[in-house]
Amino acid sequence: MSEPPQHEPDPSGTPDGDAGNDEFDQIVSAETDRDPDLAVIEAGSRTLRTQAGPPQGDQVPARPADPEVDRALREVEADLATRWGETKLDPSVERIEALLDILGSPQRAYPSIHITGTNGKTSTARMIESLLGAFELRTGRYTSPHVQSVTERISLDGAPISAERFVDTYRDIKPYIEMVDARQEYRLSFFEVLTAMAFAAFADAPVDIAVVEVGMGGTWDATNVIDGSVAVVTPIALDHTDRLGTTPEQIAVEKAGIIKKDATAVLAQQPVDAASVLLRRAVEVDATVAREGLEFGVLSREVAVGGQLLTLRGLGGEYPEVFLPLHGAHQAHNAAVALAAVEAFFGIGSQHARTLDLDTVRRAFASVTSPGRLEVVRRSPTVVLDAAHNPAGAQATAAAVTEAFGFSRLVGVVGASGDKDVRGFLEAFEPIFAEVVVTRNSSHRAMDVDALAQVAVEVFGADRVQVEPRLDDALEAAITLAEEEGEFAGAGVLVTGSVITVGEARLLLGKG
């Protein structure tokens, strides 16, 4: 892909250095009768929009059937489990850079689209991957965490790599991992090793483009050794506040680190203070900006059988009658972001004033899957799985469930992690849950079930809370409660609180 042309500075003015920052501050602080977002975003040095006007599945893998392959995979999983987990971090990319340097910098062998944000990253990555694949590009996708199998994190051509390939990739780079371990103060973490494996697998394939989701934050995340030509920021909200900050503005500082010099930053709708940080970063590195609600967006959406029908405004024009087989307004916005990211990658809005082929875009979106995101895994009663794990995600899920399913009575099954805002999460679901069954998953990070029950009683009242320490018992209890209304009464069950809870429930309910 050719480099985007250089643009003259925007009339708003964005000179380099302190003068640019002074002007930015003047713009943001100026009195205005418009939406405050508009005052913030005018600080962007360049924006992408052509002359069309303002915006108006794969399967989760099971365990290998071959006993030898399964044994080998379990050995690798056991090795990885001896390393720092994803919640224990040293804010540095020194170790991953050292490993990739020894491996010959595989992450430089292909262009990348880099994705950060608080919610919606994996779904957006899957949509981007589907679009790129529909345009006959070979894709690599790296996402986290996984729903059921660690091999899900590394995908080629829209499907998780095989267990055999996962094992072979680990074995190939293991000697180099050990070399770096011996030279560093801390050993490479679980996430750092997986990141290196993904980049090596993509180079070996080889892929035409990688779609890479950050693990946490951005600036010091292990994935931030790539120079994504497109940097995507999905909505920023409060999560991982002990590591990233206690306000959207502070969190945005970390996430803005993936926006690199001369890249295109595709920004979902953001809180004003977060938008300010992201656009300041774009000014500093002379990145081009495409903003949801201005350069692109959702023009219309309506509920359809199995999903929703959208009209999207891309960087090059409109895309009508796009069927998305996922539920909720948040997924429609993810789709708009994904479309803009792919358009930007193809140079639309900077080099080309046109739309992508409409039939290809429709075909790509119609094939999107996102396991564990409002996924129906059983009928009579309907059981839905959703990996929401913070208040913002819970609010989006609650709205989507209400819109898409219309349950006469909904029973929640909640197993959360101990480091989350559990009260805020439960409060988001209180209006739609008739009753809630609190439980825990098998992770050491899972919140103690009695502590979770105490918060749930404060939010729901004791008569609406049932405690089942085992997830299988919790599922059975919730299904029984839903069935009390009768076979045709329209009751349902929503399992949520953690990706791990959803993955384990998926297995218990016979998926994968």
Q: Which residues of 7-22 are buried (b: 16+ CB within 10 A; e: fewer)?
A: eeeeeeebeeeeebbe
Q: What angle do CA 183, 186, 188 make, to 5 degrees?
A: 85
Q: Residue 347 is encoded by which pair of tokens? A: 């140079």
More confident residue, 32 or 327: 327
Q: What angle do CA 377, 382, 383 make, to 5 degrees?
A: 50
Q: Which of 52-66, 223-237, 365-379 has the lowest mean pLDDT?
A: 52-66
Over residues 74-115, the pLDDT tens digits come to 999 999 999 987 666 677 899 999 999 999 999 999 999 999
Whole-angstrom distance, CA of residue 473 vs CA of residue 99: 44
Whole-angstrom distance, CA of residue 432 vs CA of residue 447: 22
Q: Residue 273 is encoded by which pair of tokens? A: 């203070």
Sheet of 382-385: strand order equals: 375-378, 382-385, 491-496, 409-414, 435-438, 465-467
Q: Which of 77-91, 360-374, 378-392 has the lowest mean pLDDT?
A: 77-91
Question: What stretches of 369-508 show up as alpha helix (H) in DSSP?
Answer: 391-404, 422-429, 449-460, 471-483, 499-508
Q: Which of 130-139, 183-192, 245-254, 492-501 has the lowest mean pLDDT?
A: 245-254
Percent of the chain clearing pLDDT 70 (strictly above): 85
Instruction: With cut-offs at 50, 70 and 90, classify the pLDDT of residue 249.
Output: confident
pTM for the complete prediction?
A: 0.86
pLDDT at residue 147 tops 90: no
Whole-angstrom distance, CA of residue 118 vs CA of residue 240: 9
Q: Which helix (H) or strand (E) holds 332?
A: helix 329-345
On the 0-12 / 13-18 / 19+ scale of CB atoms within 10 A, 488 is exposed
pLDDT at residue 453 tops 60: yes
Q: Minimal CA–CA distance to 371: which of 502, 213, 210?
A: 502
Q: What is the pLDDT of residue 473?
A: 97
- For the ranges 89-103, 149-163, 245-259, 472-486, the one whose mean pLDDT is highest: 149-163
More confident residue, 176 or 35: 176
Q: Minimal CA–CA distance to 216: which of 419, 423, 44, 391?
A: 419
Whole-angstrom distance, CA of residue 374 vs CA of residue 376: 6
Over residues 300-354, the pLDDT tens digits come to 999 999 999 999 999 999 999 999 999 999 999 999 999 999 999 999 987 777 8
More confident residue, 153 or 85: 153
Instruction: With cut-offs at 50, 70 and 90, classify the pLDDT of residue 4.
Output: very low
DSSP result, 27-93: HHHS--SS-HHHHHHTT-SEE---TT-S---PPPP---SSHHHHHHHHHHHHHHHTS--TTS--S-S
Cβ atoms of 257 and 233 closer than 8 Å = no
Q: What is the pLDDT of residue 240?
A: 53
Write the CA distances from 347 to 36, 341, 343, 356, integer angstroms: 30, 10, 6, 11
Instruction: With cut-offs at 50, 70 and 90, classify the pLDDT of residue 34.
Output: very low
Give the number of other Cβ atoms within 10 Å of residue 270's Cβ.
Answer: 27
Instruction: With cut-offs at 50, 70 and 90, classify the pLDDT of residue 267.
Output: very high
Over residues 413-431, the pLDDT tens digits come to 999 988 788 999 999 999 9
Q: What is the pLDDT of residue 248?
A: 83
Q: Which of 433-437, 448-452, 487-491 has the lowest mean pLDDT?
A: 487-491
Token pair 């250089």 is found at 6
pLDDT at residue 39 tops 50: no
The 3-state DSSP composition of the chain as helix, strand, coil percent (nearest 5) reads 40, 15, 40
Give the number of other Cβ atoms within 10 Å of residue 458's Cβ.
Answer: 13
Q: What is the pLDDT of residue 243?
A: 59
Q: What angle do CA 240, 242, 246 make, to 5 degrees?
A: 80
**What mean pLDDT, rounded, does the chain reach?**
87
